[in-house]
Chains A and B, each alone.
Chain A
Amino acid sequence: MNLFDILDGLERVLPILGTVAGQPEIGLLAAKLLDMGEKELERRKSTTGRTRTEILADARATFAEAKEANDDLKGLGHEQ
């Protein structure tokens, strides 16, 4: 996902998405993607000046988060 493209595109169509008949979930998806994109942009701005060791430690923590997100994704649709 190119976050900049998505943010740019979504900002233009978001007002329309919410009114698409019978598809309110599309507006919700767009809003969630926008939120993720904004947080990702903020994260990228804050990563300058770190050592290689610090960066690799950040990656380790993020891979652990990704594992949790993947477990959640695998569980979707299989709820009891």
Chain B
Amino acid sequence: MAKASNELAHDTLLANRVVAEFYKAGKIPDLATKDKIADKLGVIGDKGNKFNELLIQLDAKYPQGTLPPQDLKFVRDNLSELRQLYSEIVADLLPFGAQKAVSDLDKHLTMIEKVVKQ
């Protein structure tokens, strides 16, 4: 899960940069849409960071690596919100054919979800 959280961080960084380049290249012509996507990416970044901080606390608390059920549930609940935001961003990017800019976010969110469902 740590690796997936790290990949999520890098995907979020890349998504911000790629959306910026798409906008500068005129592939997202509407400023309001760009701002809406930027806001959602900002929320994903903030919540992803909080999720990662939770993992850091749990890492210190459970160095042997096994999360008890109550902590897994907490992680799972935070994850569903990230998943919802990601789906909204994809919907925003769909009209411009730029949804690939964030597709790696989906892969790593899915990876984390599989881990916490076990």
Chain B residues within an 8 Å CB radius of A33: 18, 21
Measured in the bound complex, the distance between the Cα atoms of B60 and A18 in whole Å is 51
* A contacts with B: majority SS: helix
- Is the beta-carbon distance between A56 and B45 smaller than 8 angstroms? no
Chain B: how many interface residues by the 8 Å CB criterion? 45
Which residues of B are at the interface with A, using a C-beta cutoff of 8 A? 2-3, 5-6, 8-10, 12-27, 31, 34-35, 38-39, 41-42, 45-46, 48-49, 52-53, 55-56, 59, 65, 100-104
- Give me 27 A-to-B residue pairs in the complex whose CB atoms sit less than 8 angstroms apart, sorted by A's number: A1-B103, A25-B24, A26-B25, A56-B6, A57-B56, A60-B53, A60-B56, A62-B6, A62-B10, A63-B12, A63-B49, A63-B52, A64-B49, A66-B9, A66-B13, A66-B16, A67-B42, A69-B16, A70-B16, A73-B17, A73-B38, A73-B41, A74-B38, A76-B20, A76-B38, A77-B23, A78-B31
